[in-house]
A and B are shown apart, each in its own frame.
Chain A
Amino acid sequence: QQKVQQSPESLIVPEGAMTSLNCTFSDSASQYFAWYRQHSGKAPKALMSIFSNGEKEEGRFTIHLNKASLHFSLHIRDSQPSDSALYLCAVIADTGYQNFYFGKGTSLTVIP
């Protein structure tokens, strides 16, 4: 059974700071890695995803994957109060059924 763990559990940063969120997974055969964001009382929403080792940048968000280390991360540049939310990482190992395994999330608070 895939184990997906996130760190830290919660994070408070000032507006404008760089925020880094981490996710580790246990199955080295994992093939798809994604970040979702869930604002309080709202539906989780996909942010970014990556398949192969390296980095991918979209606006203020960068995802970094190192399969050998079983680790991927999300970096938020110039964090804004509107970024305050629960961030969930998700991993797929079995491409046949697209079964996502989610971490427990990192609760991010950005203080103005």
Chain B
Amino acid sequence: NSKVIQTPRYLVKGQGQKAKMRCIPEKGHPVVFWYQQNKNNEFKFLINFQNQEVLQQIDMTEKRFSAECPSNSPCSLEIQSSEAGDSALYLCASSLGRQTNERLFFGHGTKLSVL
């Protein structure tokens, strides 16, 4: 069973609404990633953190998403104004560090449907 906990499992929003999802990384993992997996199984990297610091993010994330990983609280990813194209599975993953050989541990994801 996955030790990366994502909530909620399913999220349904109307266009223009905010959509917020949360992730508790595996204990002791300082690096957290968010990926978007669309219906064609394409993975899109969104953002990653080391502890509370953003390491990298794509333009879309910077412009339309709000993301944070506060200490002692779940990480969160929030779409400020949902669009139909945002419908996807949002996967959170964590790892031990920034070394190349660190495998990612994924959560089950939050499936977002934007109506």
A and B: bona fide binding partners = yes
* A interface residue numbers (CB < 8 A to B): 31-32, 34, 36, 41-46, 49, 51, 86, 88, 90, 92, 95-102, 104-105
A10–B85 alpha-carbon span in the complex (Å): 25
Are A49 and B103 neighbours in the complex by a CB distance under 8 Å? yes
A46 to B104, CA, bound (A): 7
Q: Mark B7-44, 1 if CB is under 8 A from A, else 0.
A: 00000000000000000000000010101000011110
The reply on B106 being an interface residue by CB < 8 A is yes
Query: CB within 8 A of B100: which of A44, A86, A92?
Result: A92
Residue of B nearest to A51 (CB): B101
Chain A residue numbers with a CB within 8 Å of B55 are 97
A32 touches B100 (CB 8 A): yes
Q: Are B98 and A44 closer than 8 Å at their CB atoms? A: no
Interface residues of B (CB under 8 A from A): 2, 4, 31, 33, 35, 40-43, 45, 48, 55-56, 91, 93, 95, 98-109
Count, A-B residue pairs, CB within 8 A: 62
A97–B100 CB distance below 8 A: no
Residues of B near A100 (CB, < 8 A) are 33, 45, 104
Cβ contact within 8 Å between A102 and B43: yes
Asked if residues A43 and B107 are in contact (CB atoms below 8 Å), the reply is yes
The minimal Cβ–Cβ distance linking A71 to chain B, given in whole angstroms, is: 19
Residues of A within 8 A of B104 (CB): 36, 44, 46, 90, 100
Given contact pairs A34-B103, A43-B91, A43-B106, A98 touches B98 in the complex (Cβ within 8 A): yes
